Chains A and B, each alone.
Chain A
Amino acid sequence: MDFTEEQINRYSRHILLPEVGGKGQKKIAKAKVLLVGAGGLGSPAALYLAAAGVGRIGLIDSDVVDLTNLQRQILHHTPDVGRPKVLSGKEKIQALNPDVTVSTYEERLTAGNALKIFEEYDVVIDGVDNFTAKFLINDACFFTGKPLVHGGILRFDGRVTTIVPKQSACYRCVFKAPPPPGLVASCQEAGVIGVLAGIIGTIQATEALKLILGIGRPLTNRLLDFDARKTQFREIKVRRNPDCALCGEHPTITELFEDGDPYAGCAVRP
């Protein structure tokens, strides 16, 4: 595959980087990244990955754009209210960069469809809001061997970590299972400062590009927590848990399932 003169211009600031170059830009052009959730985290991730020239971006989301989304979901604009997010997202990505192929899945991620969809991609980005889906994504990445860039945002706090299955700590190594539904606040109740989606989603896109390029040091075995009130990042070391029910020495989870109540909500901090 050769770049046209226009493409060489478009990606020139990448190609200038010794760590990327023409070779790296070709890797990006061949890469396939799946965004689970075309919302707060998925929005900046989709836009930056599109701008970077990722060959194929997959968008999974069953929702339509709601007015309350626009405070942070920058992939969607005011006239998109009421339209499917995957459709709105696809249009923005292709307007930004027609080199990108967008595959849309206007459905919920389930134990039934996850493996088949994940198989087609190189990297998966978690941009979902509920714990059932976060665990499902973690497990599906384990079973398909796909690297995962996990993210979460709540109120003024955000978290991001990269998981390379069987090599680094997975979500279940640290958080075994979703919290009990009674203790969880709904996303609508919890609130979130909109720009946090931009900060965390953009770090997720950075991690995805590093994985594609095979450069730098991935955010594995580390949780990167961000506190927007203090503008402070904190890194928490984690490690693979030999007792992990998924990737430990004696796994008890041997197939995909939907853990917990997907409608229980998304929040936590007391």
Chain B
Amino acid sequence: MQVKINGKIEDVASGTLLDLLKSKQIEPQMVAVEVNDKVVDRDRLATTPVSEGDQIEFLFYMGGGR
């Protein structure tokens, strides 16, 4: 199924947001996940399915500034 991840269209297997993170080897604690402009709670990543056409953002923490 096709979704948009961080602005890029990608073909991904069906599954949950947590599955998607795992397939990309992204540690869930390291990102905020937004689907269609709405933040998904980390506790709900394992129960939220990825749907066709979703716009998904994996927002990494950006800490530096000094």
Residues of chain B within 8 A (CB-CB) of A130 are 63
- Tell me, in angstroms, the Cα distance from A182 to B60 when the chains sit together: 15
How many residues of B are in contact with the other chain, CB < 8 A? 23
Contact assessment for B30 and A190 in the assembled complex, using a CB-CB cutoff below 8 Å: no
Q: Distance (Å) between the CB of A246 and the closest chain B CB?
A: 13
Contact mask B55-66 → A, CB, 8 Å, 1/0? Answer: 001011111111
Residues of chain B within 8 A (CB-CB) of A238 are 34, 37, 39
Interface of B is mostly: loop
Q: A187-B66, A236-B59 are in contact. Are A268 and B39 (CB under 8 A)?
A: no
Q: Identify which of A36-44, A51-59, A210-218 touches chain B.
A: A36-44
Contact assessment for B66 and A129 in the assembled complex, using a CB-CB cutoff below 8 Å: yes
**Is B23 interfacial (CB-CB < 8 Å)?**
no
Contact assessment for A173 and B63 in the assembled complex, using a CB-CB cutoff below 8 Å: no
Contact mask A253-270 → B, CB, 8 Å, 1/0? Answer: 000000000000111111
Contact assessment for A175 and B61 in the assembled complex, using a CB-CB cutoff below 8 Å: yes
Residues of chain B within 8 A (CB-CB) of A153 are 62, 64-65
Residue among B29, B34, B38, B63 with most chain A CB within 10 A: B63
Contact assessment for A266 and B63 in the assembled complex, using a CB-CB cutoff below 8 Å: yes
Measured CB to CB, the nearest residue on chain A to B36 is: A237
**Is A179 interfacial (CB-CB < 8 Å)?**
yes
Measured CB to CB, the nearest residue on chain B to A152 is: B62
Contact assessment for B62 and A154 in the assembled complex, using a CB-CB cutoff below 8 Å: yes
**Is B32 interfacial (CB-CB < 8 Å)?**
yes
Contact assessment for A175 and B32 in the assembled complex, using a CB-CB cutoff below 8 Å: yes
What total count of A-B pairs have CB within 8 Å? 99
A127, A157, A243, A270: the one contacting B65 at CB < 8 Å is A127
**Is B26 interfacial (CB-CB < 8 Å)?**
yes
**Is A126 interfacial (CB-CB < 8 Å)?**
yes
Contact assessment for B7 and A73 in the assembled complex, using a CB-CB cutoff below 8 Å: no
Q: Distance (Å) between the CB of A6 and the closest chain B CB?
A: 35
Measured CB to CB, the nearest residue on chain B to A223 is: B59
**Is A192 interfacial (CB-CB < 8 Å)?**
yes
Contact assessment for B62 and A268 in the assembled complex, using a CB-CB cutoff below 8 Å: yes
Contact assessment for A126 and B65 in the assembled complex, using a CB-CB cutoff below 8 Å: yes
Contact mask A142-158 → B, CB, 8 Å, 1/0? Answer: 00000000011110011
**Is A241 interfacial (CB-CB < 8 Å)?**
yes
**Is B41 interfacial (CB-CB < 8 Å)?**
yes
Contact assessment for B63 and A267 in the assembled complex, using a CB-CB cutoff below 8 Å: yes
Residues of chain A within 8 A (CB-CB) of B37 are 237-239
Contact assessment for B65 and A268 in the assembled complex, using a CB-CB cutoff below 8 Å: no
B30, B34, B64: the one contacting A266 at CB < 8 Å is B64
Contact assessment for A183 and B29 in the assembled complex, using a CB-CB cutoff below 8 Å: yes
Contact mask B32-54 → A, CB, 8 Å, 1/0? Answer: 10100111011000000000000
B57, B63, B66: the one contacting A73 at CB < 8 Å is B66
Q: Can you list the 3 inter-chain pairs with the closest CB atoms, starting with the nearest?
A: A152-B62, A266-B63, A39-B66
